[in-house]
Structure 1
Amino acid sequence: MSTDVKEPAETDEEQPAGKWSFPSSYTVLAIVTLLVWLAAFFIPAGQYRTDEDGRPVSGTYEQIASDQSFIDRLRDLFLAPVNGLYGIQESDGRVGPDLSGDLYGAAAVFFFVLAVGAFITVTFATGALDRGIGRLAYRLRNRSLLLIVGIMVIFAVAGTVEGFAEETLGFYALIIPLMLALGYDRMTAVGAIICGAGVGVLCSTVNPFATGTASSAADIPIGDGIVLRVAMLVVLTAVTIAYVLWYANRVRKDPGKSWSGWQKGDHDIEATTEPDPLTGRQKTALWLVVLTFVFMIFSIMPWSEIIKGPDAEPYGWELGWYFSELTALFLVASVIVGLVGGLGEKAMSSKIVEGFGDFVGAGFVIVLARGVTVIMNNTEITSTVLHSLEGAVSGTSSAVFSVGVFIVNIPLAFLIPSTSGHATLAMPVMAPLADFAGVPRSLVVTAWQSASGWINLVTPTTAVVMGGLALAKVRYDRYVRFVAPLMGILFVLICAFLAIAAWTS
C-alpha cells in the first residue's frame, strides 16, 4: 500500500519449529474447557430454591449430591463441542435449564457466520466490495479518524439499545479491508468493532436482553437508573473512542508499533491512488450489500420495547428476527448479489462454498466457547459460584456494596457470558440485598451489567471476542495486550460512577 510512512516487512504468523508462540484460539478454549471441567471436581454442586417464575430465591442455597459419575463427566468433556453446538445439556439423558440464553446452543450463530462468509466472498468475487472499499478509503484518506468515530458511535448505540454483540461478526469482512486501506492495522478494526459495541452493551440503557431481563428479575421498571446509565454511556464511550483513536493514529504514523502485526495481503489496497470507477453492476451490488446490513439491523431491533417500554405489544411491522432468519437473509442476498454482479451459476456456487470454508474456523471457535457453559450446567456448580459471591457483598456500606456487586459479578460473568442467562441467575439473589444496603435496586442492575460488559471485552468463552478475533486473524494474547489499558481505565470509571451514585442515592 502506498503511504507516507515506511512500511514494516510483513510478518508470518507461523513460528519456526521449536520456538514457543501463544496458542491458537482453539487451544485457548480447549484449555479453558479442561480447567472448568477439573474445577467441577472441587466445587460442590448446589442449587437455590426457585419461585413460581423459576428464579432463585436469596438465602435458599443448599449443596446437593452430584449424580454424575466419573464416566458421565468424562463424556461431558469430550462431547462439549457437540453439546455446545446443539445446546444439549444432558447427563444420563436429562436436559437441564438453559443458562446460555440460547436454547439451540451455538448452532444458530455458527450457521450465521458461515452465511456471512458466503455473502462476503460472493460480493468480493463481483469486484464491487474491494473496489468500493478502495474508493471510500481514497475519499476518506484525510478524514479517516472521523470514520472510526462514526463506526464506534453506531456500534455503541446499537449495543446500548439492543445488545448488539454477536451480530458484529458480520461486519469484520467489511471493516478490516477498509482499515487496512486507510493505513491502519487489523487491531484497529478489532478495537472499533469489539470495543465500540462492547462499551454500548456495558452501558446498556434499554437493552431488553441485559437491562430488560435484569430489571424484570429485580422487579423494577426498565427505566429505573437510566440517567446514570446514559451518563456512563456518554463518558465511557468517549473514553473508549479516544483510546482506539490514539492507537490507530500511533500505528498509522509508525506501522512498526502495530500490536496485531501484518499479514500477507494487508498492504494490497492503495488509498493514495484513486481506483477505477465502479461499473453499473458493481454499484448495484454494493447498494445491495449496504441495504442487506441495514435491513439486518432493522429486523433484529425490538422497536416496541425501545419506544414503549418492556412487555409492550410488538408493532405490526416489527420483525423480531434472530440468527436463523439472518442466516437465510445472507444466503438469499448472496444469490441476488451474485446474479446482479454478473457471476454465473457455477462461479456463484463455487464462491458460496468457498465462503463457508473460509469462515468455518471462526464458527468452530464459537462452538467450543459454548461448550464450557454446558459443562458448568451439567455439573451444577453455577449456583455454588453465585452463592460464594452473594456472601461477599452482604453487610457492607452503600458505596462499598455497589462497587462490590460490580466486582463479584465479574467472575460470574466470565463463566456465563450470556447477559440474559447471567441476569436470570444472579439478579433475583443480588437485587434483594440492595434493600438491606440502602441503595436502589436499579443500582444493582447497573453494577451487574457493567461487570458483564466489562469482562466480556476479553472473555475467551464468548463468540463476540473469540469469533471476532478468528475472523480478523488476530491472536488473543495480542488483543488482550491492546485492550488491557482501556479495561483498567474503564474499571476505575465504573467504580467511581457506582460509588458516587450510591453515596447520592
Structure 2
Amino acid sequence: MKFPSAYTVLAIVTLAVWVLTFIIPPGQYDVKDGKPVEGSYHHIDNDQSFMDRLHDLFISPVNGLYGIQSTDSGQVGPDEVGALYGSAAVFLFVLAVGAFITVTFATGALDRGIGRLAHRLQSRGMLLIIGIMTIFAVAGTVEGFAEETLGFYGLIIPLTLALGYDRMVAVGTIILGAGIGVLCSTVNPFATGTASSAAGVTIGDGILLRLAMLVVLTTVTILYVLWYARKVKADPTKSLSGFQPGDHDQAEAVAKAMPEPLTGRHKLVIWIVAFTFLLMIFSIIPWSGIINGPDADPFAWELGWYFPELTALFLVASVVVGVIGALGEDGLTGKIVQGFGDFVGAGLVIVLARGVTVLMNNSHVTDTVLHSLESVVAGTSSAVFAIAMFVVNIPLAFLIPSTSGHATLAMPILAPLADFANVPRSLVITAWQSASGWMNLIAPTTAVVMGGLALAKVRYDKYLRFVGPLLVILFVLICVFLAIAAITG
C-alpha cells in the first residue's frame, strides 16, 4: 500500500466537492471592500442544470488556471475575476522560480560555496552545524529550499562522522535546518506567495511576525541539534542512529579531500542570487503601512510588486546568472526549460486545487461553508482563533503534503474567517504555513524526509524519537507567537 500523490488526492477532493455541491444549499454574503459582511449571509437559488455542473467538473482544472466563473448571465472570463480566482499568475511565477533555481545550481556556485564552508569549518563541529543550518534556514524561508537538500548528504554525513558525531546529527542539520526555514517562510513563493494570492493579500503582509518566528524558532532548533550532537560526542552509545561499518574510514577520506575552489564567476553568481532575493523581499513589503499605518499612502520608492513583476524578475535573473556562469546559449536555454519541467508539477497542483475553489464558487456553496464556520468562530477570542487555525491545518497538511496545493485549497475558505474574528488575513496564512511546515518535518509522504533518511541510512522510527521533543517545543512556541500576534493586532 502506498499513500496517493498530491494529484490523486486533489482529484478525489474535486470529485467529492462536486458531489457535495448537490447537497450543500447555495448561498452568499453581501460583500463590502472585498470582504464578506458579517450577518449578511442568505440563501439563493442555483439554476445550474446537471449538465452544467458536469461540465464544470471536467473543466475545473482549466477554470482553476484562468479563473473562469459562472454567473447568471453565463461565463465570466479572467479579465473580470481572474485576479481573484485564477492561478495563471502563480503558475507562471512557480515556473520562473524553478528556472532560476535550476540555472543557479547548474553553475555549481551554490554547491561549491556550501562545500567550501563545510570544509573550512570541519575542525569546528559546532560552527559547522550552526553555519549549515543557518544557510539552509535562510534558503528555506525565501525560496522553499527542501528537495534540493538531498544533494548534500554525501558531503555532510562524512564530515559529521569525522567530527565524532553520528548520522542523526547530519539528518537534523539538513532536514531541520531547511525545514524550519520553510515553516517560518517569509517570502517563500511556494508557501507564502501561493497562500497570499489565494487569500487576496500581498506577500509582504505579516512579514514582521514571520521574521520574528524565523529568528526564534531557528535558534531553538539549532540549539536542539547542538545539544544532541554534544551528547553523542561525549558518549557514542547514546546515538539514536548508531554507526555503519566503515563510517570512520569514509569520514577521514572525505574530510581530507579539498573541495573545488570558488572562481570569480561563482562568487559573482552567489552575489546575484542574494541580490535577487533581497530585491524580491524589498519589492513586496508595504513599507508605508509598516511605518505609518495600514491606511498610509504608498511611498514614492515603494515598488509594490506582485506576481507578474516577480515572474519577470526571476526570468531576467535566470538569464543573467546563466550568462555569468558561462552556461552558453544551449546550456542556458536547456536549464531554463528543465527548470520549467521540474517545477511544472508544483504548478499543476496549484491549478488543480484552485479548480476546486472555482467549482465551489460556481455552485455558490463557498459562502455556505464559510457561514457554517462563522458560527464556530463567533464569540472566540482572537488568540483562540489563531491557534485553532494552526491546529486545524495540521491534519490537512498530512493529507496534502504539497504546500502549494494545501494553500490554494484551504485559503479561500479559511482566510475570510479572519474578517469575522477581527484579525488580519496574514495571520491565517502564518498559522497555515506553520502547520504545513511543522507536519512536513515528519510527514512520511514527503521525499525530503523519507528520501533524506534513506540516503543517511537512518530508520524512520529512530528519527521520530530524535525529533519528537523538538516538535513539542515548536508546537508550543508557534501557539505563543500566534496568540500574541492576534491579541496585539
Structure 1: gaps spanning 5 or more residues: 1-19, 157-163, 202-206, 217-221, 258-266, 432-441
Instruction: Give the letter for the 2:27 counterpart.
Output: G
Aligned pair in 2 of structure 1 residues 330, 39: CA closer, same or farther (>3 Å)? same
Matched residue, 1:168: 143
Give the conservation status (yes or no) of the 8 Å contact 2:210–2:430.
no
Matched residue, 1:303: 287
The count of corresponding residues between Structure 1 and Structure 2 is 428
Cα deviation for residue 285 of structure 1 reads: 2.6
Matched, 1:181 2:182: no
Cα separation, 2, equivalents of 1:37 and 1:454:
29
Matched, 1:73 2:49: no
Matched, 1:86 2:66: yes
Matched residue, 2:324: 340
Q: C-alpha offsets along residues 394-414 of structure 1, whole Å, 9 cap, x if unaligned?
A: 567x6xx85367537966996
Give the conservation status (yes or no) of the 8 Å contact 2:60–2:352.
yes
Q: Which SS does the other structure have where 2:75 is aligned? A: coil
Instruction: Give the letter for the 1:286 counterpart.
Output: I
**Identity between Structure 1 and Structure 2 (%):** 53
Matched residue, 1:109: 90
Matched residue, 2:14: 33
Q: C-alpha offsets along residues 425-482 of structure 1, whole Å, 9 cap, x if unaligned?
A: 2244334xxxxxxxxxx6x98985665455444799xxxx99x96899969xx9xx89
Matched, 1:198 2:183: yes
Cα separation, 2, equivalents of 1:503 and 1:120:
38
Matched, 1:137 2:137: no
Matched, 1:62 2:42: yes
Give the conservation status (yes or no) of the 8 Å contact 1:195–1:457.
yes
Structure 2: gaps spanning 5 or more residues: 158-168, 187-191, 243-250, 397-404, 453-459
Matched, 1:287 2:268: no
Instruction: Give the letter for the 1:288 counterpart.
Output: I
Instruction: Give the letter for the 1:366 counterpart.
Output: I
Match of 2:365 among 381, 394, 409: 381
TM-score by length of 2: 0.66
Cα separation, 1, equivalents of 2:484 and 2:313:
46
Instruction: Give the letter for the 2:259 counterpart.
Output: P
Please show how residues 486-505 of structure 1 align to structure 2 within 5 Å. none
Cα deviation for residue 275 of structure 1 reads: 0.5
Cα deviation for residue 422 of structure 1 reads: 5.4
Cα separation, 2, equivalents of 1:503 and 1:336:
45
Match of 2:344 among 360, 372, 384: 360
Cα separation, 2, equivalents of 1:67 and 1:247:
62
Aligned pair in 2 of structure 1 residues 490, 176: CA closer, same or farther (>3 Å)? same
Cα separation, 1, equivalents of 2:470 and 2:319:
41
Instruction: Give the letter for the 2:120 counterpart.
Output: R
Give the conservation status (yes or no) of the 8 Å contact 1:152–1:197.
no
Give the conservation status (yes or no) of the 8 Å contact 2:194–2:407.
no
Matched residue, 1:315: 299
Instruction: Give the letter for the 2:37 counterpart.
Output: V
Match of 1:327 among 305, 311, 319: 311
TM-score by length of 1: 0.65
Give the conservation status (yes or no) of the 8 Å contact 1:101–1:420.
no
Q: Which SS does the other structure have where 1:90 is aligned? A: strand
Matched residue, 2:260: 276
Matched residue, 1:11: none
Cα separation, 1, equivalents of 2:232 and 2:23:
46
Matched residue, 1:47: 28
Q: Which SS does the other structure have where 1:68 is aligned? A: coil
CA RMSD of aligned residues (A): 5.3
Aligned pair in 2 of structure 1 residues 310, 241: CA closer, same or farther (>3 Å)? farther
Q: Larger deviation: 233-242 or 375-384?
A: 233-242
